Amino acid sequence: MTEERPAYPFLENQTVRRWTPQAFGRDRTPTDLAASNRSDREWPACWGDAASLLEWSDTYERILDEEHAPFYRWFVGGRLNATENCIDRHLEERKNQVALRWEGKRGERRTYTYYDLHREVSAVAAALRGLGIEADDVVTIYLPKLPELPITMLACARIGAVHNVVFAGFAPDALVKRMQRVDSSAFVTCDGSFREETAIDQKRKADTALASLEKSLPTIVVDRLGASHGTHLGTDQYDYNELVETYAGADVSPVPRKATDPLFHIHTSGTTGNPQRMTHSTGGYLAGVTWTAQTVFDLSPGTTIWCTADIGWITGHSYVVYGPLLSGATVVLVEGSLRYPDRHRPWEVIERNGVEVFYTTPGAIRTFMKWGKSFPSSHDLSSLRLLGTVGEPIGPNTWEWYYTHVGEERCPIVDTWWQTETGCVLISARPGVDELKPGSVGPPLPGIEIQIVDEDGRDLPPGEPGYLTIDRPWPSMLAPLEGDQYWVLAEYWQAFSDPRAETWRYFTGDRAVVDDDGYVTIIGRDDDVITIDNRRLGTAELEAAITMVDGVTEAAAVAESAAGETTLCVFATLEQEQRDRNAVRDAIRDAVAERVGEFTRPASIVFTPELPETYSGKTMYRLLERVVNGRPLTDSDTLRNPEILGELITIWNRE
């Protein structure tokens, strides 16, 4: 370990450690793309190395087609099938290897080998065909974290249908919008799910949504609740298990798809506005996800990975389903809350399944911190060799706790940056290749070029915060379809200084700063900005100072407006053993004033057991702003913990 000062202005008083890569032994590099000088010298030809990790029915003719820029097309002329790459090609060598381990909320466990997956995916694919589903039809899937969810996704891909997974926690209205945007041809749901001891009637929500559609859809219903909860199947509704039994042993050949054909639709979470439909193409997406699964997460055949993301979000698509299975790894899929039936559950899952790669959110880690180090320390976590985070910036304190108490000071942490639009990780340190800096995401991956720019699109030097942009296309990028709304062009693909300029830039919507080593630190979303005293401050900048205070595990900074004046309001969560709240309030005010500026000294500090967070681990600042400014609460469908809103209002009014 070596110590040095960081270059970032808002962390200038903090000492960070560099974790040298030599401690993480790596005897292989997945592709030559990992050589940065090659990717810079031979771009875009270097991305052929990522494509070489896949099996192609027809070899592509061109790596990149720029004719329709800014809507670039990758691996033009090539054909392949996603399910064949995820399952079939593994059968000869590892058909009896475990592909999926599932743990249910009520203690159930199921194990699928690659051969088991092949049989059930083929049966579901045959069942979909029996219901009239063919290539290019869209199947909407509305399921919690059950094995039937990835199985149905792969069944769709096998026959060339496009899947549209909708998070199972959405209300009927939100589901209807997401179904209508993609013109669904079939629907897959379940009878219900469990929230701790309570059975949730999922089918009732699904039926309400179906009744709002203009046409009737064939619907497959998975039995999750069991015989004790009777479920009525209506017209054109079919029991999943009966279909699998009917089509058992079906031989469904994978349908070769053009690399540029859509693989799936997915909607953004809507944390910063209305959710938007995203489409990812087959060849480019699979190439990007496969390469990053092996380069960033060091996945290889037999590696056991547990990614805690819901499959309804892009992280679940890329690193629960496609990335691991493309790599021949073993996926651990866990239904329900990490805290149920008790706080030992995450560590029991790791211990019981021999998890090697653990990928979660900073929000989850901060929750673990609140529970205390005694929980992970009471379990055997020696199987772990790599940790990862995603969803929002991870502060140095949270990084150190994760490294010390979960990784036991031997596991590197890959703090990954990417988005629904990017499809796969674009910025991250590579274990065994790059040094790690707590609080920094790391350098852009080989083949990815970034730039920090100001409001006018001018390049900024290291140490100057600004807008994060991606300056070259990449294979797994958003692939808009013909007829998609103009917002794609207007908001995402921008040439800042001159709309007629040849320079292409993807505007990420995130603010960041890069240091002299090329390491990126994310400050926050462009709209996660507070203006105080005519100065714009990123929320991450403020929260980094707050969480440096002893006993504070998590914080959110929002603006409170009253009488024409804007002041800073802080919501903070504390470690369980932390008791002197007045002392902590004073320490927070002093820390923010010292590290950011006296003008930012918080006017209000509210302690809360939790922050409102989405299932993808993002804090819903918009809802916190509504609480402090007395406005009606809306758009809470994506919340992991909607019950916290009422408690926040009570706490705020009491303060």
Same domain, 490 and 589: no
Is residue 650 one of the residues assigned to a domain?
Answer: yes
Query: Do 514 and 628 belong to one domain?
Result: no
Residue numbers of the domain that contains 609: 528-654
- Same-domain status, 499 and 563: no
**What are the φ/ψ torsions at residue 406 (nearest 5 degrees)?**
-105, -50
Mean per-residue pLDDT, 242-257: 97
SS3 334: strand
**Beta strands 520-525 and 505-514, pairing class:** antiparallel
Res. 247: pLDDT tops 80 = yes
pLDDT of residue 530: 76
| 295-319 per-position pLDDT tens digit | 999 999 999 999 999 999 999 999 9
Of the residues 502, 523, 544, the one at which a domain ends: 523
Domain boundary among 480, 497, 523: 523
pLDDT bracket for residue 38 (50, 70, 90): low
pLDDT at 145 over 80: yes
Domains held by the chain: number: 2
Task: Please check whether residues 499 and 542 belong to one and the same domain.
Answer: no
Of 496, 523, 550, which residue is a domain's last?
523
380 has a pLDDT exceeding 70: yes
- Whether 471 and 555 map to the same domain: the answer is no
Flag whether 614 is in a domain.
yes
* pTM metric for this prediction: 0.84
| Band of pLDDT at residue 136, cut at 50, 70 and 90 | very high
Shared domain check, 539 and 516: no
254, part of any domain = no
**149 in any annotated domain:** no
Whether residues 638 and 574 fall in one domain? yes
CATH number, domain containing residue 605:
3.30.300.30
Q: Quick one: pLDDT at residue 17? A: 52
- 510 and 546 in one domain? no
pLDDT at residue number 336: 87
Is the pLDDT at 29 greater than 50, yes or no?
no
Same domain membership, residue 473 and residue 489: yes
**pLDDT tens digits for range 64-123:** 998 877 778 999 999 999 999 999 999 999 999 999 999 998 889 999 999 999 999 999
Q: What per-residue confidence (pLDDT) applies to 183?
A: 92
Domain co-membership, 504 together with 535: no
The pLDDT confidence band at residue 232, using thresholds 50, 70 and 90, is confident
pLDDT exceeding 90 applies to what percent of the chain?
54
18 pLDDT above the threshold of 60: no
Say if 396 falls within a structural domain.
Answer: no
> Using an 8 Å Cβ cutoff, are 154 and 86 in contact?
yes
Q: Report whether 644 contacts 635 (CB < 8 A).
A: no
Residue 592 is assigned to a structural domain of this protein: yes
* Average pLDDT for 158-185: 92
Residue 379 within any structural domain of the chain: no
Is 533 a domain residue?
Answer: yes
Measured CA to CA, the distance from residue 315 to residue 312 in angstroms comes to 8
Q: Mean pLDDT check: name the lowest of 33-47, 160-174, 444-458.
A: 33-47
Residue 586: its pLDDT value, please?
Answer: 92
Q: Is 383 exposed, middle or buried (0-12, 13-18, 19+ CB in 10 A)?
A: middle
70 preceded by a cis bond (ω within 30 of 0): yes
**Amino acid identity, residue 584?**
V
Contact 35, 43 (CB under 8 A): no
Q: Are residues 544 and 465 in the same domain?
A: no
Give the model confidence (pLDDT) of 504-529 as tens digits.
788 888 889 999 999 999 987 776 67
pLDDT for 579 equals 67
Report the C-alpha gap between 333 and 109 in whole angstroms: 10
Q: Are residues 561 and 640 in the same domain?
A: yes
What does the block give as tokens for 470? 């991606």
Rounded to the nearest integer, the mean pLDDT of the chain is 86
**Do the Cβ atoms of 289 and 305 come closer than 8 Å?**
no
The domain spanning residue 493 has which CATH number? 2.30.38.10
